[in-house]
Amino acid sequence: MFKSLDLPPVWLLLALGLSWLVPQLFPLGLSLDSALTDFITAVFIGGGVILLALAVSEMRRQNTTLTPHREADRLVTSGIFKRSRNPIYLSYVMLLAGCILRFDAILSLPLVPIFLWLLERRFVIPEENALRRKFRMDFARYCEKTRRWV
């Protein structure tokens, strides 16, 4: 049962819930509320949604799985995947950062690098290892041309 819940969107929802909960439990009166913060929030959330839509669209166009822990049918290197090997995970990090700023939850900001680390260890590295085994030289060339994140 827990294996079916071990998905990046579930981890994102947990991180979002925790990021909202922290300032409720520890209201220290810290705030980043400003027009600049609102702009950065909009860039992170809007950019995250657009990035996610582009990545999902490209993976569907290529007829390969979106689900981690499943074997990929193809190595997707087109579209947004020319810029980042992990645009979906990058979008999740952007969404978390944007929501933390939207919640004005300064104490939750350390969740962003922790969440990034968790995604990398739990999903990115195992997925890349599977792609490396299946697509060998094609994946090696892809890694030479395209960075893991940005």
Which tens digits make up the pLDDT trace of 55-67? 999 999 999 989 8
- Residue 139 confidence class, pLDDT cut points 50, 70, 90: very high
Question: Residues 90, 93, 95, 97: what is their CA dihedral angle, to the nearest 10 degrees?
Answer: -140
Interatomic CA distance for residues 14 and 8, integer angstroms: 10
Mean pLDDT of the residues in the chain: 94
- Residue 57 CA, chain-centre distance (Å), reads 16
pLDDT at 2: 64
Token pair recorded at residue 31: 């705030």
In the predicted model, is pLDDT for residue 5 greater than 90? no
